């Protein structure tokens, strides 16, 4: 269990270091500064996502709603109050 915590802590420290040296350029690419003897900047191409409109037709079931009436017998209750 202790080893797992050490690994998680190491990953968090590395992620913080990597994310600290990143910046986005005007055209949408990301520049990453990696720790080396000399600092060099690498440009990472960000993938583009294209969307398209698609029409799908689905069969909807036909539902009929009918009004039903029924008679209900309601009991009458008389409450006597003490004077």
**Residues 68-76, mean pLDDT to the nearest whole number:** 89
Burial class (CB in 10 A: 0-12, 13-18, 19+), 5: exposed
**Residues 46-70, mean pLDDT to the nearest whole number:** 89
Tens-place pLDDT, residues 55-64 = 989 999 999 9
Closest CA to 22 of 41, 36, 37: 41
Give me the chain's average pLDDT, please.
76
The one-character DSSP state at 26 is T
**Domain coordinates in residue numbering, the chain:** 2-44
pTM (2 decimals)?
A: 0.23
Q: Which one has a higher pLDDT value, 30 or 67? A: 67
The whole-number pLDDT of residue 19 equals 53
DSSP 19-72: HHTEEE-TTS-EEEEEPSSS-EEEEEPPPP----------PPPP----------
Q: pLDDT over 90 for what percent of the chain?
A: 4
């Amino acid at each position: 269990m202790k080893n797992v915590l050490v690994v998680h802590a190491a990953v968090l420290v590395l992620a913080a270091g990597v994310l600290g040296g990143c910046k986005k350029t005007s055209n949408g690419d990301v520049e990453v500064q990696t720790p080396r003897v000399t600092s060099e900047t690498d440009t990472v191409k960000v993938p583009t996502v294209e969307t398209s409109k698609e029409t799908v037709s689905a069969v909807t079931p036909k539902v009929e709603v009918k009004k039903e009436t029924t008679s209900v017998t309601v009991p009458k209750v008389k409450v006597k109050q003490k004077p």
